[in-house]
Structure 1
Amino acid sequence: LMKECMVRLIYCEMLGYESSFGYIHAIKLAQQGNLLEKRVGYLAVSLFLHENHELLLLLVNTVVKDLQSTNLVEVCMALTIVSQIFPREMIPAVLPLIEDKLQHSKEIIRRKAVQALYKFYLIAPNQVQHIHDKFRKALCDRDAGVMAASLHIYLQMIKENPSGYKDLTGSFVTILKQVVGGKLPIDFNYHSVPAPWLQIQLLRILGLLGKDDPR
């Protein structure tokens, strides 16, 4: 019943009606053991709250618990909510767990972990400075989705400090050649064009690295 009520509350919120009375119930629903209820709860939280909302602190323990779960769906949901909204001051509580997920055997977990770290870099870059080597491993990941996710982080870092990443120019060129050569899975193609958005992102990165470089 609570799950159905929460779905209706989401619609009310989308239509502009006052729904703040239900925010705490979204938190409670995300804390449930039932996967479907938890999924609806996490969805509602991501739509209702912002990263500075006081109620979000009540979700931290649930996120930590789900990140430690052996259930892949729970881990995915926790990583998704972290990559959408998460209080900056609570990043240290989950950062080691997310770092561990970069070594996970499932590519979807590694990809979502990279996306979560990208979010952390945007809101608190000083807290992820020590794991730049792990970003490099993600760039060379055997799964194209993980590699593509890491490009978001590199684009942001290279915008801020192009000279610090010139040694990776060869790696980006190699990846671009693989993309243009159709080496990525067919899922990345769009109307027979190999990964066009990935090509654009790589060209932007190479443009930043090559700016004002006489070579």
Structure 2
Amino acid sequence: MMREIMVRAMYCEMLGYDASFTYIHAIKLAQQGGVLEKRVGYLAVSLFLNEGHELLLLLVNTVLKDLQSTNVIEAYMALTVVAQVFPKDMIPAVLPLLEDKLSEIIRRKAVLALYKFYLIAPNQVQHIHAKFRKALCDRDPGVMTSSLHIYLQLITESPDDYKDLTGSFVTILKQVVCGKLPVDFNYHNVPAPWLQIQLLRILSLLGKEDRRYRGAGMQTQAAGQFACLHYALKTWKKL
């Protein structure tokens, strides 16, 4: 019953109506429910609350417990909330658990949570930059893709500190253009277009005013542009 009520409350909030009286029940649903109830509770929390909301303090122990759970689904749901609305004051309590998750099946979501932590409290995650590099070379393309969000932010702030990774980004872009990623990343038969755009942005930042890297970057950028143009024309012909 409470699960159905919470779904209706989320719908009301999406339409612009105030459903703040249900916020505490979203917390309780995440704390006390089974997997389905917990999923709805966490989803409601991520939609209802912001980082500064006082009710989030009531959810900290539940998140810590679920992050340590042997149930992958529970840990995944907890990571979703951490990546969206968790306050920066609670980062020290959660960060060690996130580092452990980088070696598990849900490491993609853990990388996104670390990205959120970097945005709100960069000084607290300075010691895990080596893990960012490990994520960039991860065998799972999803984890690698998640790490690019972090590197785009890092390189925008200080491109000179990441010049040594230029070759890695060029190699990744070549693999994308050549269709080496799983078909799940394709969009209308175009190989990972958003990933190509993100890599081109990173390479443009790294190669700006630096002739040493401009050659490799320009060559791969041209290949990416021609690939996007080719698939765009190919899609247009099918319309």
TM-score, scaled to structure 1? 0.97
Q: Do structure 1's residue 15 and structure 2's residue 10 form an aligned pair?
A: no
Q: Do structure 1's residue 90 and structure 2's residue 87 form an aligned pair?
A: no
- Who is 1:178 aligned against? 175
Deviations 1:121-146 (A, max 9, x none): 11111111100000000000001000
- Who is 1:4 aligned against? 4
- Which residue identity is paired with 2:10? I
1:109-124 equivalent positions in 2, closer than 5 A: 109-124=106-121
Q: Do structure 1's residue 203 and structure 2's residue 200 form an aligned pair?
A: yes
Following superposition, which runs of at least 4 residues in structure 1 exceed 2 angstroms of deviation?
A: none
Name the CA distance, whole Å, in 2 between partners of 1:15 and 1:177. Answer: 44
1:144-163 equivalent positions in 2, closer than 5 A: 144-163=141-160
Q: How much has 1:13 moved relative to structure 2?
A: 1.4
Secondary structure in 1 matching 2:211: coil
Q: How much has 1:14 moved relative to structure 2?
A: 1.6
- Who is 1:189 aligned against? 186
Q: How large is the Cα RMSD of the aligned pairs?
A: 0.8
Q: How much has 1:54 moved relative to structure 2?
A: 0.6
- Which residue identity is paired with 2:192? A
- Who is 1:32 aligned against? 32
- Which residue identity is paired with 2:196? Q
Moved more, 54-63 or 13-22: 13-22
- Which residue identity is paired with 1:57? L
Q: How much has 1:7 moved relative to structure 2?
A: 1.1
More helix by share: 2
- Who is 2:101 aligned against? 101
Q: How much has 1:66 moved relative to structure 2?
A: 0.3
- Which residue identity is paired with 2:180? K
Name the CA distance, whole Å, in 2 between partners of 1:103 and 1:190. Answer: 29
- Which residue identity is paired with 1:166? K
Q: What are the ranges of 5 or more consecutive residues in structure 1 without an aligned counterpart?
A: none
Q: How much has 1:62 moved relative to structure 2?
A: 0.5
How many residue pairs were aligned?
A: 212
Name the CA distance, whole Å, in 2 between partners of 1:188 and 1:203. Answer: 17
Seq. identity, %: 80
TM-score, scaled to structure 2? 0.87
Q: How much has 1:21 moved relative to structure 2?
A: 1.2
Bigger Rg over Cα: 2
